[in-house]
């Protein structure tokens, strides 16, 4: 198990390999497709993003409201391909990590290799477990989006797997190849 401390610098990105099990600690941000679209629209208008994207990690999640006494409700990953139209531009601007579930497009993987970024997989169906690693939560942008608003999360030992590393190695492809029938 590798420990990853955020922000996620380029050296750490280079050291992570597809298949590595990690525990992530530090500050990350949440955003889903509606928030991604708004961020790209802001960039097109010459506006600053709601947070400094350089060396940051975005978790693709729309967490449930917190029950009394809890920091956050269930916080499982959403399907990452919904952000594929927007991710390459954010990677180009310095985004070094993304957390979600499912496949990524060739354009996203190319941007990851070109600019140095990694894609982590979080376990779908483990939302309650994942939420226990979230220690603080703060709404920072787009409150009208409800659960899809951008949040700043402080996480401790957030469990994930490196699905695609900065060299383009893809755990989904590696896994399929391993069990390929000749």
Q: How many CB atoms lie within 10 A of CB 130?
A: 25
In the structure encoding, which two tokens stand for residue 15, read together? 């050291």
- Annotated catalytic residue within 32, 36, 101, 104: 36
- Provide φ and ψ at 10, rounded to 5°: -60, -35
Residue 65 CA to residue 55 CA, distance in Å, equals 28
User: Residue 148 has what DSSP assignment?
Assistant: G
131: burial class by Cβ within 10 Å (0-12, 13-18, 19+)? buried
Has 36 been annotated as catalytic? yes
Q: Using the Cα atoms of residue 120, residue 126, residue 129 and residue 134 in order, give the sign of their dihedral.
A: positive
Active site residues: 36
């Amino acid at each position: 198990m590798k420990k990853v401390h955020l922000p996620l610098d380029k050296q750490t990105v280079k050291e992570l390999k597809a298949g590595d099990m990690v525990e992530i600690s530090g500050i990350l941000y949440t955003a889903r497709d509606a928030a991604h679209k708004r961020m790209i629209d802001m960039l097109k208008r010459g506006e600053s993003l709601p947070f400094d994207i350089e060396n940051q990690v975005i978790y693709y999640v729309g967490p449930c409201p917190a029950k009394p006494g809890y920091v956050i409700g269930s916080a499982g990953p959403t399907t990452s391909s919904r952000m594929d139209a927007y991710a390459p531009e954010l990677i180009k601007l310095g985004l070094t990590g993304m957390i979600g579930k499912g496949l990524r497009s060739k354009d996203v993987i190319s941007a990851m290799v070109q600019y140095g970024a990694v894609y982590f997989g979080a376990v779908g169906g483990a939302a309650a477990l994942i939420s226990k690693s979230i220690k603080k939560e703060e709404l920072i942008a787009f409150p009208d989006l409800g659960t899809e608003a951008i949040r700043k999360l402080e996480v401790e030992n957030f469990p994930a797997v490196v699905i695609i590393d900065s060299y383009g190695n893809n755990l989904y492809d590696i896994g399929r190849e391993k069990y390929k029938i000749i």
